[in-house]
Structure 1
């Protein structure tokens, strides 16, 4: 049974209002005067959500509200409705909500959002991954903070690996290629991937962008200009091409990570890349550490073992009458105890590294240790304006290269030319 929250815990959470928290300007009164108000647009089950939604964390939020003399109201929407609801609110040009849940929409919404990177509390920044700002930044400005650390990692089938005498997960590109080829001769195949999905985070374009980072490359410069059509970009795509003989034949039509997770759990391949959200399906109810599917960090390329990240974040609207208080609420959402309960109560891993390192968290799932280690490496999402259209175009050219219809260099040249009009 989860213990009740007490006021000593609340006093540790979200109370900083000094250094790193000030936006300037006045608020809407103090706790001694009248109840202040905050409005939050958020997702609901099964996605990450804040305390005080449904039956999750009502005790924590009630105590925070009492301590801050603040009423917090939620507008809950399914994740697929949050973007449209945010756009409609921003289009009014007036205050609607203080805090917005943002799902990979920082670039188009950035004119309506406050810059947060320079205002986050120092103790919070010190407890987040070094690359925490990358997926939620646009043109050098960080506009959000991620509630959960959702990084792409490698998983492998321990039973298959043992049957082939493989010692453990591949640590390098060379080992990934070698192990996949070793498993390949029959069924199962060495590697299974969702290359049929062109667009979005987790599609073939973003998987290539993970290899791109591992080769030392970047998608865009600080001004948003494409810079991926270079040696690291070509090397990354050529590596994917080289892996194709050891990759399941239907990978170029696979679009559903959930379906792949079920197949991976039933011995269809030795390895795949995935996200923590699919662990329950992969693990098939096995006790922690005893399942045949094992999580591991990404293999290291010529430069590092970088990865990609989901880009969900908490943001604050420029129209908020009390951005200082709104940031204190977000700080509360990211506080250690809330982050711990976020995992135990609703199953989303924390963003705070100290909570990922908590023995109780790591003992409950092997994914926590893998994500904590992966967090030491760079990660990004490379979200842009027209992100789905941009990644769809890049993904199309990558698919053609993986099918052998063009070279890696030809694919990236075509992709660069095609996306420039979409980037503005």
Structure 2
């Protein structure tokens, strides 16, 4: 009589064949991609049968047991924190890992033992990626007429690759970057044909992606009047008074975030983010500064010597485009501001003294002359005056 294999026999046969094929072909382990902070399930790829006696999941390097199923009982190994993050599901013997961390990346091995003693072994490679977030476009002006470089970058995401699109056309080769702070840069020469074009960058890795876009006509509004993108003029302030650092942002502009910082040492001062303003630093310092939300000008009151230095403003629009500018603040003492007027004041005082002395001498001489005329004699005691009178008596013109 012909014998038809039962389900358990089929399972044992498949497990046996799987083990032989895997060992004989040297096939590479399948790869599962996981997202940092999320969950993932590693499956053994077996048929569930009643005659499974034991299932063990291990890390291969270093070789460490994670969980074990044995005749209906499940045991977990490792630290308490790790045991709270892993679960072996008895229905299909998949291993679930929650709240994924960088160190979870690696090879995992599962060994399945049937009640007959037959075994199958499978290895799965897990790779944990940081998700892409905060995709933005950095703008750098390279010359007049709004020629510039656009750099696509992200605040998180490792590894990340970038691609640029101009309208619906790709304008750059896809280039992988293994450090998230690196971005793909494209060079743009401003012409009438591209002024209204939308430039879009895509940042992605195997588990996530992000996009940001800008219009060139909007970016060129940031350019300075000379077309070079150079920092605005230096702001001069006086100790004890107030100074205003201009952001260059027009009132009513669509800004998601504006951050003012000191450049040396690099310290955040004030931040605007979607309607909310936050200040940083000591309470005394926070009491002296105001970020005006209309035009994002930074006001610093009761200026002190240590307030002098370079200030950087970083702004991010609703489309993700980002711009930076630097303002230099110079702080002078009140006497330094007025030192240029010193010589003028001194000159005025000296001139006034000379005039007063001259008037006094003239009054005195006139008084003496009047007295001498009344007595009928020459009472002048000024030798110059005597010479003048003598020349007149010799027939010189007196007119």
Q: TM tier, shorter chain?
A: under 0.3
TM-score by length of 1: 0.20
Query: Which protein has the larger Cα radius of gyration, Structure 1 or Structure 2?
Result: 2
Taking structure 2 as the reference length, what is the TM-score of the superposition? 0.21
- Higher normalized strand content (fraction of residues): 2
| Structure with larger RCO (C-alpha < 8 A, sep 6+) | 1
